[in-house]
Amino acid sequence: MDTPGIDVEYVAQLARLEIAPEAMPKLRSDMAAIVGYIAELQEVDVEGVEPTAYAVPLSNVWREDSAGESFPRGDMLANAPALVDDTLIKVPQVLPGEGIN
């Protein structure tokens, strides 16, 4: 059953979040209350108002396109959960279906 305004299962699919079935009822009611609250913005007159994305307006921050030192590969890969040959990140099968491995 959907809550008014937000379909929690659908949004969880979009966000790639597994939600335990037993957590669903409370989550649905929490989300319905929160979405109900933020809906109060509908009453504000925003006709002709420009949106603010960043509080301090900046545009086109450029830098020279110059070569520099980067981090050592080993350091950056040290946090990966699984590696192949110590140089590549091992990922799960991308396309579902027949086992490849």
Partner 1 sequence: MSFPEIFSLEQLAAGLAAGEFTAVELAQECLDRVAARDGSIKAFLEIDSEKVLTAAAESDARRAAGKPLSAWDGIPVGIKDCIATAGERCSCSSKILEPVKSPYDSTAVARLRQAGFIPFGRLNMDEFAMGSSCENSAIQKTANPRDITRVPGGSSGGSAAAVAGGMVPAALGSDTGGSIRQPASFCGITGMKPTYGRVSRYGLVAFASSLDQIGPMTNSVLDSAILLDVMAGKDPHDSTSLAVPAGGFADAARAGRDLKGMKIGLPKEYFQAPGMDPGVSAIMQESIERVKSLGAETVEVSLPHTKYAVAVYYIVATAEASANLARFDGIRYGDRIEGRDLVETYFRTRGAGFGDEVKRRILLGTYVLSSGYYDAYYLRAQKVRTLIRRDFEEAAKVCDLLLTPVTPSVAFHFGEISDPLQMYLSDIFTIALNLAGNCGISVPAGVDKATGMPVGVQFLAPALEEAKLFRAAAAFEGAVR
Asked if 98 is part of the footprint of partner 1 (rule: CB under 8 A), the reply reads no
DSSP type of residue 88: E
At residue 39's C-alpha, the angle toward residues 35 and 43, to 5°, is 175
The structure tokens 């597994």 sit at: 18
Which of 1, 4, 22, 61 is the binder for partner 1 (CB under 8 A)?
A: 61
Q: Alpha helices of the chain — where are they, by DSSP H?
A: 8-14, 24-38, 73-77
Instruction: Give the nearer residue to partner 1 in terms of CB position, either 14 or 84.
Output: 14
Chain residues 13-52 in contact with partner 1, contact rule CB under 8 A: 14-20, 23, 27, 30-31, 33-35, 37-38, 40-42, 44, 46, 49-52
Q: Which residues contact 31 (CB under 8 A, 6 or more apart)?
A: 3, 6, 8
Query: Which residue ranges make up the site for partner 1 (CB under 8 A)?
Result: 6, 8, 11-12, 14-20, 23, 27, 30-31, 33-35, 37-38, 40-42, 44, 46, 49-56, 58, 61, 63, 71, 75-76, 78-82, 89, 91-96
